[in-house]
Structure 1
Amino acid sequence: MGRRLRIGIDTGGTFTDVVALDEDTGEYITTKTPSTPSDPAEGFLAAAAKVLAGDGPLPAEAVGLSHGTTVATNRLLEDRIEDLGFITTEGFESVLEIARQSVPDGYGNSYFWVKPPRIVPVHRVRTVGGRLDHTGAELRPFDQAGAVRAARWFRDRGIAAIGVCFLHSYADPSHELAMREVLRREHPEAVVSLSCEVLREYREYERSVTTLVDAAVKPVMARYLARIIERIGDRASARAPARLHVMKSNGGVLSAEEVVHQPITTVLSGPAAGALGAAFVAARAGRGSVVTLDGGGTSTDVAVVLDGEPTLTTEGAIGRHPVKIPMIDIVTVGAGGGSVARVSPEGTMKVGPRSAGADPGPLCYGRGGTEPTVTDAHAVLGRIPPHLLGGEIPLDVDAARAGLAELAATLGLSVERAATGILEISAWNQANAIRQITVKRGLDVRDYPLVAFGGSGPLLACRLLDVLGPPAAIVPENPGNLSAFGLLTVDVKNDYVRTRVMRDTGLDLGAVAAAFGDLEREAATALDREGFPPARRRFARTADLRYHGQAFEVRVPAPAGPVTEDFRAEVVGRFHDAHEALYGYCYRDDPDRHPVEWVNYRVSGIGPIDRPRPRERPPGDGDPSRALVSSRRVHFGDGWTETPVYERALLAPGDVIEGPAIVQEFGSTLPLHPGFRAEADPCGNLTVTRAERE
């Protein structure tokens, strides 16, 4: 009998990362394969085959498989949205054109900003008669004849992806459900998304766009997952796992069979897994609250973890499309290893957001790249080894130097100065993203250690400590595979929401209890389908509250148990506290002039999994020289220095390395600048601090 592996596979822009946990021995297997942007399924299948084949005499068997995917995200970022139709309430056909009055970057650019094209052009919008009020009461009956005309109009034009959003259907979905039945009869080939199933929450514009985004990615996600499920067994020479799970933006996973019905929930799949993996690693190291930095080949994703949990939001966007779904609060910048360096029309150096990607990739990959990148700068300065992935990808440092020489000549700089400038700009791009996720949310970045991971995440860790001043940077073991590892730590999770606006004064506790009860029953039904018995289920409540007259709400946790007066008082108290923390004030003592309103009620249904239990390493003798494998010339910004190179796998807990030094491993490299030190801990992490802090 072969090994029984639980596998996490995260598909990034440049590499596909794999972590496998041997269910019997607790051993971890990590590897990477190049991503295949033209056909992401090929990269996924190659990664699965690689880890299942292994080095042993016996074949491995996949007993579980979790996947972080960028298929839905890339579809939206690249604006590959075709033949999408929209059905809405009669008289509201311009909801997408009206949109919101907000202008990106404030009023400074408002004179030059041009409203982008709508996700569905006006000529592919059809309306149907019928009207509900905000309580769900029917004002005008559903127009069956009009619904048939709309369905036939889309059928006759071959438009097979359709989003349906009727006014106030969050309060009563009956009209939308009736529309789906008409589409099934008249246009059976159509793939339909209903707003009452995608986002049962008020605000018509956001609900409409979120529903249309779901409809836009549903066909491609269905094909992608069907192909993987069909071929994983043949390609890996092992039986397909009992169930393929896909990472969701909300920090949970869901079976592939369910995800195809709600593909919009995967739009931040990969970055969410990274944030959860970082939270798991930081908690084991005794750090409950951290800033996470996931540096990849195409971009860098940053998030905040508070008390062991990544912060969540529903105010997100993918490209130009607002999506109002629960998602881990992540800021993404085009500052990855493949980010291209160029001279702007103004004569200054720019780095990113355009990326060389996986193919052709940076100049040093030798695959036909023509522009210098961040990775090329690291290679020229000696900060990464002359090969990647343990020798699987040799680097052509001479090609990188030649490309950088052209850029440097244009700017009148030496090659080393140009390379250092590229890395400095990249570091500040990352620092600004971290400020956006912390300072703009009322958090002081100096209070939170930085967890740096991803293939390129640790490369600029020392510079970020200088720029931002966090107390330390934690570099996990196998940082390049942490997102894939995070997939093994994630529970099954579904989110449900209802809108019903009520004043806190004289609050109808029965209505609140009914709302939470309905949501918990929905969540329980979904967990039934996922195979979780009642004893293994958990429900987490939250509520969105605001002061009367405010346009937006603040979400706070709500306790379990009966909805009583004590329940109400506790939730309202949490709202006042959260409002004061966010905005610096609250109206706790003035309820008559500033009454509180309850707006949305939310329940997350959670099916807990058995999390990995990594083993702690025994301490060493305190002498890191056992890990010293070579030395090479490295440029840290002020000249070339002969620098010791350490193999991370040979370090033991308690070992301390003083910079300048290079710590290398299979999937990533940590350049330890002069004036910094790194200490290995029992969990396999390296904690980087400024030497003078000790």
Structure 2
Amino acid sequence: MFLCDDRLKLDISTVAAGGGSKLFFRSGMFIVGPESAGAQPGPVCYDKGGSELTITDANLVLGRILPEFFPKIFGPNNNMPLNKDKTLELFNKLTDEINRFLEAQNDAKRMTVHEVAMGYVRVANETMCRPIRAITQGKGYDTSVHMLACFGGAGGQHACAIASSLGISSVFVPKYAGILSAVGIFLADVVYEAQEPVGKVYRKETISYFDAKFADLEKHCTEHLTKSMKFFKVEIERFLHLRYDGTDCALMCLPKDTTNSETTSKYGDFISSFVERYSKEFGFTIQGRDIIVDDIRVRAVGLTDKDSGQDLEIADSKIPDCKIKCDVYFDAVGLVESPVYLLSELKSDHSIQGPAIIMDSLSTILIEPAAIAEITKKGDILVRLESSLGRRVKIGTELDTIQLSIFSHRFMRFVFTIFFYS
């Protein structure tokens, strides 16, 4: 049996636009996903037999992925670095195909390999922007007053561009962004529930019986939780599954703190909670009708210690020297020589002016031009974009395959909205 509790609900929108999303050129449009190369064989640069380009390959061509900072776990024998040469070979072929299409359309413009790779990244970014717009702007929320939270090993490569497109001026990258899901599971509270059928009328004479059952179930849940794990604290929640006699709609209710000598157990007032919720659900209550307790449920929540660790040492000098400088391609700017810093060498209050790359053993964070990255006292990264107005593109009459692909995402969302509400 599942407990209907608003505190357990999350409104989650997902989108297929990860690093393994395959790249296609169809009917003059740049298509990203939803097909994925997966981890095996993976992107072309993994050199494990993959023959279809992906977003990871595009980021590698653009200089946003640095093979020298990745472990040598690729190739047929899992002992080689990322294969950039093979990726460039296939991107050159794809660029030739796109340019042949443009020639057939009597378009004098020709695209370079970097422009093609950047085009696919822009389309992928728009794919990721679409669900964010749906749950914010589509529901009347202004994205410009919010902060974009970023996680995943490759999330930091796209975060600044996505924030700019959405008009967001701040991006938060947790210290453990690359393994945030694993950290979340490790720190998550552990819940154990026990439920027992009762089938008794709730009245003054039966309250002591219910209280005794609560005590037994509480002991059982607590012992189960603590026998194999140690928790910072264990919290207990108690529920009664209540319904009016002669009806079949039971509601799981927590007690209220109100005091009523006729209906209150030592854990609180369940009857007032039931009547209030029943009225809210159905618009009426049944006066003078017995209330039946179908089940008793106890939930034990083992709270973990979520101490985020010691604060970083405050910077007392300028930022450390960059490890290397590399050419990184940025939209509307081109190739820019960008410094590469190690997150482990940065201290609290250090600021990194973009363009730059911050490398970590778990993730890569791209700081775009006109952005500044600040290291917080906990080792997280706060990126501030100087301009949060989004990217402005001058639209002409000539064929722009990338812009056409981006518009297709926004237009399909508009069509879906019209269809849904019509």
Q: Normalization by structure 1: what TM-score?
A: 0.43
Tell me the equivalent position of 1:683: 378
Distance 1:443 1:557 in 2: 32
Tell me the equivalent position of 1:582: none
Match of 2:235 among 538, 541, 554: 538
Give runs of aligned pairs for residues 434-513 of structure 1, distance below 5 A.
Answer: 434-438=132-136, 445-495=143-193
Aligned residue type for 1:654: D
Compare CA radii of gyration and give the structure with the larger one.
2
Deviations 1:133-192 (A, max 9, x none): xxxxxxxxxxxxxxxxxxxxxxxxxxxxxxxxxxxxxxxxxxxxxxxxxxxxxxxxxxxx
Give runs of aligned pairs for residues 339-378 of structure 1, distance below 5 A.
Answer: 339-344=21-26, 346-378=27-59
Counterparts in 2 of 1:473 and 1:613: CA distance versus 1, 3 Å: closer
Number of equivalenced pairs? 345
SS at match of 1:481: helix
Tell me the equivalent position of 2:273: 568
| Contact 1:541-1:603 within 8 A present in 2 as well | yes
Question: CA offset at residue 678 of structure 1?
Answer: 0.6
| Contact 1:656-1:677 within 8 A present in 2 as well | yes
Tell me the equivalent position of 1:426: 124
| Contact 1:542-1:602 within 8 A present in 2 as well | yes
Match of 2:8 among 312, 329, 336: 312
Tell me the equivalent position of 1:405: 92
Distance 2:133 2:209 in 1: 41
Tell me the equivalent position of 1:396: 83
Distance 2:189 2:147 in 1: 25
Match of 1:636 among 306, 323, 330: 330
Aligned residue type for 1:564: D
Question: CA offset at residue 690 of structure 1?
Answer: 1.0
| Contact 1:495-1:602 within 8 A present in 2 as well | yes
Question: CA offset at residue 649 of structure 1?
Answer: 1.1
Question: CA offset at residue 567 of structure 1?
Answer: 5.6
Deviations 1:218-261 (A, max 9, x none): xxxxxxxxxxxxxxxxxxxxxxxxxxxxxxxx9xxxxxxxxxxx
Of structures 1 and 2, the one scoring higher in RCO (CA 8 A, sep 6+) is 2
The yes-or-no answer on 1:667 pairing with 2:362 is yes
Counterparts in 2 of 1:201 and 1:662: CA distance versus 1, 3 Å: closer
Question: CA offset at residue 630 of structure 1?
Answer: 1.2
SS at match of 1:428: helix
Deviations 1:122-141 (A, max 9, x none): xxxxxxxxxxxxxxxxxxxx
| Contact 2:217-2:298 within 8 A present in 1 as well | no
Deviations 1:59-78 (A, max 9, x none): xxxxxxxxxxxxxxxxxxxx
Tell me the equivalent position of 2:300: 605
| Contact 1:201-1:497 within 8 A present in 2 as well | no
| Contact 2:20-2:36 within 8 A present in 1 as well | yes
| Contact 1:340-1:356 within 8 A present in 2 as well | yes
Distance 2:196 2:124 in 1: 42
Aligned residue type for 1:563: G
Match of 2:114 among 411, 416, 428: 416
| Contact 1:520-1:539 within 8 A present in 2 as well | no
Unpaired segments of 5 or more residues in structure 2? 75-80, 100-110, 243-248, 258-265, 389-422
Q: Percent identity?
A: 28
Distance 1:614 1:666 in 2: 19
Tell me the equivalent position of 1:651: 346
SS at match of 1:483: helix
Distance 1:441 1:540 in 2: 33
Tell me the equivalent position of 1:77: none
Distance 1:657 1:451 in 2: 19
Distance 1:425 1:491 in 2: 38
Distance 2:376 2:342 in 1: 15
Question: CA offset at residue 651 of structure 1?
Answer: 0.9
Deviates more, 1:330-339 or 1:628-637: 330-339
Distance 1:374 1:464 in 2: 15
| Contact 1:516-1:603 within 8 A present in 2 as well | no
Distance 2:194 2:222 in 1: 13
Give runs of aligned pairs for residues 30-429 of structure 1, distance below 5 A.
Answer: 199=1, 312-313=8-9, 329-344=11-26, 346-390=27-71, 394-412=81-99, 413-429=111-127
Distance 2:141 2:254 in 1: 20
| Contact 2:15-2:131 within 8 A present in 1 as well | yes
Tell me the equivalent position of 2:408: none
Counterparts in 2 of 1:361 and 1:512: CA distance versus 1, 3 Å: farther
Deviations 1:41-63 (A, max 9, x none): xxxxxxxxxxxxxxxxxxxxxxx
SS at match of 1:530: helix
Aligned residue type for 1:431: C
Distance 2:239 2:321 in 1: 49
Aligned residue type for 1:350: I
Match of 1:594 among 283, 291, 300: 283
Counterparts in 2 of 1:666 and 1:605: CA distance versus 1, 3 Å: same
Unpaired segments of 5 or more residues in structure 1? 1-198, 203-249, 251-309, 314-327, 501-506, 546-551, 577-586
Counterparts in 2 of 1:544 and 1:371: CA distance versus 1, 3 Å: farther
Aligned residue type for 2:31: K
Question: CA offset at residue 602 of structure 1?
Answer: 7.2
Question: CA offset at residue 454 of structure 1?
Answer: 1.3
Deviates more, 1:403-412 or 1:423-432: 403-412
RMSD, matched Cα? 4.4
Question: CA offset at residue 375 of structure 1?
Answer: 0.5
Question: CA offset at residue 673 of structure 1?
Answer: 0.8
| Contact 2:169-2:386 within 8 A present in 1 as well | no
